[in-house]
Amino acid sequence: MKESQKIRLFSVIFLIVFSLSVFVTNHVTRNLLDEDTSGDLLLANCMYDEKTLIPEDWFFGNEFRIYSQLIWAPFFALFPDWGTVRFCGTLVIQLLYLASFVFMMRSARLKKSTILFGCILLLLPYCVVYGRIILYHSHYTMYITFAFLILGLIFRITGGKTKKSQVVPGILLAVCCIFSSLSGIREIYIFLGPLCALTFWQLIVNRKKDFLLPSLFCLMMGVAGWMINRFVILDMIHVGVENASKIEFKGISKVYMTLFAVFRQFGYRSGVNRLSFFGIMSLAGIAVTVYVLIRSGEALIVERDGKQQILRGLLLVQLAINFVTFLFYEPPHVSRYDYSRYLVPSSVWVIPLLCCSFEENRALFRRIMYIGMCCIFIGNGLINLVFFQNSNHFSQDYDGLAYHATDTVEKYSGAAGFIQNEGYDLGYAVNDANVLIEKMNGLPVVWLEKTVDGGMIYRDLLTRKSFRELPAQKTFFLGSFNDVSSFRALPCSEGSELVFSEGDVYIYELAEQTVLKAYLDSRTR
């Protein structure tokens, strides 16, 4: 098929997939929420109110992260509905993600049809974790976007014919590396470090040093950004402290767990009938994993083109670094599902790998293998598109994530409607406080947590400080049966009345908000 015909065909397919992606994105951003996700949007609202990157009216978590929030914030000036703000902001983030990918691939001088093919793959949730973490909740999307931009700029600089033509890309490269690391070490760990390791490999194996100095420069700029984060920004804000974690081999069980976390990146699912269609596609995901890792390793050994070697080899290099890390280091409070989440920024380099392979002149057997793997990859992406839109007909859940609920907003739909209809102006909740805030378009809800002595305290995490000082005429307490049982045992709950219950959601109207506030203030840590 001629290049012009491929471009027309892939353009049509891209428009179809993009339309489906917009439809699914709209559904997910309005119906699939959790505390961290809603906390990101609440932080964006705080940034918009204060018109600053580092708002004072905010309790940060265990890191400083503001990239996606920076995109969402301006939409609060346009829309009163928080669901619309999230949808529009997420759509812009996806477009930036695609644009950075196009820039990187054009800088590597790949064909337009190949780039369109890659854009199609990027929009498909080829694994559940990629869909939720990258496409729809935008947790790590901007880090990958920066990685694409940085690598594209490196390609432009190394391909520049004159020093003058390298000045502007060089300045942009420094800015991107510093800014991408202002939120901590993540960009260094998931991209800048592995890139340096790969360019050293090129020097040792192929005697090529074209990309060594640019990658070292990027690492230095990234470290500069991280140091600003560590010694300037973190001194300005309140950041939760994690428990220490020892560096030691975690045992053979962690090898098994991490290996299957890698398989999940490419379509493997647990908990499905292996003899069903979904089960077969799940097992086929293991075949895709083996195939792409072999192809990535092959590129590290036999590929002579420096750009192609980086685009193909980063997948194996990054996954290997993550794999070894997880065998010796485990973040505090990690669950077995978190491994899949942390691997996503590495596994996304499967897209450039498949794109580079798209342009190869292969023998018949290799061509059949490549087409087969692409069909499985795309098939799993289409399956998960349908799954995210309507999960009722699927046996799979959000495998690889700590949050397994498929429709968290539905749980609070009745309660949110009741609260808004009754005119409450302040609330208290033990769980899902940020989800309630987003569902009710910014109505303030104070986030609480239970203590071992049966009491309650403020939760100094991912919430606005000012909520605790707001005057209120009509206040509610919302929680599960266990939460309200703990609340009712407190003297400050005297006179509170049960006004709503649905499922395991209960709402009590407070007789006097100031009494509860005084109790919580007295227990402030």
Spatial contact of 111 and 41, defined as CB atoms under 8 Å apart: no
| Residue 389 CA, distance from chain mean position | 19
Does 462 lie in the same domain as 355? no
134 falls within a domain: no
* 202 and 270 part of one domain: no
Of 84-88, 319-323, 340-344, 437-441, give the lowest mean pLDDT range: 340-344
Q: Is the pLDDT of residue 221 over 50?
A: yes
Percent of the chain exceeding pLDDT 70 equals 91
- In this prediction, residue 478 carries a pLDDT of 95
Last residue of a domain, one of 404, 420, 436: 404
Q: Which tens digit of pLDDT belongs to each residue from 302-311?
A: 988 999 999 9
Query: What CA–CA distance (Å, rounded) separates 51 from 74?
Result: 10
Which of these ranges, 138-147, 233-242, 409-418, 424-433, has the smallest mean pLDDT? Answer: 233-242
Select from 209, 241, 273 the last residue of a domain. 241
Over range 59-85, report the average pLDDT.
Answer: 92
**In a shared domain, residues 192 and 318:** no
Give the pLDDT confidence score for residue 85 in this predicted structure. Answer: 97
Contact yes or no for 76/45 (Cβ under 8 A): yes
348 part of a folded domain: yes
Q: Domain of residue 370: give its range.
A: 243-404
Candidate ranges 20-24, 238-242, 260-264; pick with highest mean pLDDT:
20-24
Residue 247's Cβ-count burial label (10 Å; 0-12, 13-18, 19+) is: exposed
Q: Tell me, what amino acid is at 226?
A: W
397 Cβ contact partners less than 8 Å away, ≥ 6 residues apart: 271, 391, 404, 406
Residue 243 banded pLDDT, cuts 50, 70, 90: very low
Are residues 262 and 360 both part of a single domain?
Answer: yes
290 compared with 329, residue with greater pLDDT: 290
Condensed to tens digits (0 to 9), the pLDDT of residues 151-169 reads 999 999 987 666 666 788 8
User: From the CA atom positions of the chain, what is the Rg in Å?
Assistant: 25
| Range in 94-98, 174-178, 182-186, 402-406 the model is least confident about | 402-406
Do residue 223 and residue 82 come from a single domain? yes
- Please give the Cα distance from 64 to 70 (Å, whole number): 13
- Stated pTM of the model: 0.93
Is there a domain that residue 117 lies in? no
Which of 268, 260, 265, 261 is closest to 284 using CA atoms?
Answer: 268
Structure tokens given for 51: 């018109």
Under 8 Å between Cβ of 303 and 388: no
Write the CA distances from 406 to 33, 175, 389, integer angstroms.
9, 39, 10
pLDDT above 60 (res 402): no
| pLDDT tops 50 at residue 517 | yes
Residue 340 has what pLDDT?
A: 73
Based on the fold, state whether residues 55 and 195 are members of the same structural domain. Answer: yes
Residue pLDDT, tens place only, 256-276: 888 888 998 998 887 777 788
481 shares its domain with 432: yes
Residue 132 lies in a domain: no
Number of domains in the chain: 3
User: What confidence score (pLDDT) does residue 169 get?
Assistant: 87
* Cβ atoms within 10 Å of 431's Cβ, excluding its own: 17
Q: Are residues 219 and 294 in the same domain?
A: no
pLDDT on residue 401:
58
Which one, of 135, 145, 142, lies nearest residue 32 by Cα? 135
Q: Which residue has the tokens 């990535």?
A: 296
Cα–Cα dist 448/219, whole Å: 41
Q: Are residues 50 and 170 in the same domain?
A: yes
Residue 244 has what pLDDT? 47
Residue of 166 and 417 predicted with greater confidence:
417
180 and 199 assigned to the same domain:
yes
pLDDT tens-place string over residues 469-509: 998 889 999 999 999 999 999 998 989 999 999 999 999 99
Cα 516 from Cα 492, distance rounded (Å): 5
Categorize the per-residue pLDDT at 92 as very low, low, confident or very high, splitting at 50, 70 and 90.
very high
- Does residue 116 lie within any of the structural domains? no
Residue 115 lies inside a defined structural domain of this protein? no
> Based on the domain organization, do 249 and 361 belong to the same domain?
yes
H helices of 229-362, in order, are 234-236, 252-264, 277-302, 306-328, 338-347, 350-358
Which residue, 361, 385, 404, sits at the end of a domain?
404
Instruction: Mark whether 94 and 151 lie in a shared domain.
Output: yes
* Structural domain contains residue 396: yes
57 lies in some domain: yes
Q: Mean of the pLDDT values across residues 244-248?
A: 58
What average pLDDT is seen over the chain? Answer: 89
